[in-house]
Structure 1
Amino acid sequence: MSIVVKERLRESGLLHLTTHEDRVEIDRMIEEITGMYCDEGVKVLSESEFLEIVESIIRRRKKKKAERTVEVV
């Protein structure tokens, strides 16, 4: 997991909203979008691009959690 990504999440006030798995997925998405290693890729993203990535990962996790809850019931 990228320390640079973790620090950017902390600066944005979003670190507490993410799990370790979320942060690993954020790293992967940054690498996919930028074609760079995540530590370098996160530096070229605008704040809005970074927030969009983070929010999409958080939404995906919440959706999966909701789907698992429905299956249990």
Structure 2
Amino acid sequence: MPRMIYDYTKSELESVSFDPHLFKKRLKKATRNLLPYEIDQLENWLSYFTMNKPELQNCLTEITSKNENGFA
């Protein structure tokens, strides 16, 4: 079941990637719903996904800061 949530989160983020504000909002939601190891996986996926999308790269700080502070 958790893998399904992770996959759903990725597809949801892909579908809203046209809007950085909405992307960041969904990313915050994801950090509340995913397990810590899933957040690590999502962070790796986001690094790859946003590589050619500079407008979304500043959203990565949202997941990185939560992961470093142990709030995830």
**TM, length-normalised to structure 1:** 0.30
**TM, length-normalised to structure 2:** 0.31
Bigger CA radius of gyration: 1
The structure where helix makes up a greater share of residues is 1
